[in-house]
Amino acid sequence: MKSLFASAACILAALICSVSTAAELETSTPLVQAYTPGLGEFMSAIQVRHAKLWFAGKGKNWPLAAFELDELKEAFEDAAKYQPEFKGKPIAKIIEPMTAEPVAQLEKAIEAKDSVRFMRAYDSLSHACTTCHQATDHGFISIQRPTFPPLTNQRFSLGRQP
């Protein structure tokens, strides 16, 4: 009986001990050290989505266009969440108001499968990108329609496989 108590106490001590080590570990490696992408990295991802979106719309691949637009929105949200301020500019405050209208127009065009509306809305999104760059001292980064797919290992238009 005595030894049973002793071993129970041992197990309890070990448990308490391991719990406190875990707590210590947590405080000694704060989450602050976790890697956060810089705004430029978010923007590079946004640039690829923006280009893919064009070729999806041009190829009338509307499900892909909807997907890329959704990814673009998520990337804007992530940029605002993880880089709310950048070199004194309130990214989180301006990113949504600056892009919401063209994004909404693109959503409508994609839903209506309307190529003409899509192209018009796409150009206003590109314009919004450039306008925000101007507002954040990066006016030299000017965004336009892409002329060539960013990656050639993905089929953008709907069609028969080769």
Q: Which residues bind ligand HEC (CB under 6 A)?
A: 38-40, 43-44, 46-47, 50, 86, 91, 94-95, 98-99, 125, 129, 132-133, 136, 138, 141, 143
Q: Cβ 82 to ligand HEC, closest distance in Å?
A: 13
Q: Tell the smallest beta-carbon distance from residue 62 to ligand HEC (Å).
A: 19
Question: Taking CA 15 as the corner, what is the angle to CA 14 and CA 16, rounded to the nearest 5 degrees?
Answer: 95
Minimum gap (Å) between residue 115 Cβ and ligand HEC: 19
Select 40 or 158, whichever has its Cβ closest to ligand HEC.
Answer: 40
The region, left, alpha or beta by phi > 0 then psi within -120 to 50, assigned to residue 113 is: left
The packing angle between helices 115-135 and 39-58, to 10°, is 160
Nearer to ligand HEC, 61 or 136 (CB): 136
Cβ-contact 141, 134 below 8 angstroms: no
Sequence-distant (≥ 6) Cβ neighbours of residue 95 within 8 angstroms:
76, 79, 80, 132
Q: Which CB atom, from 50 or from 58, has the smaller least distance to ligand HEC?
A: 50
Tell me whether residue 28 or residue 95 sits nearer to ligand HEC (CB atom): 95
List CB contacts of 101: < 8 A, sequence separation 6 or more: 124, 128
The least distance separating ligand HEC from the CB of residue 75, rounded to whole angstroms, comes to: 9
Least gap, CB of 24 to ligand HEC (angstroms): 37
Cβ-based nearer residue to ligand HEC, 26 or 96: 96
Q: Look up residue 162 and give its two tokens.
A: 């080769």
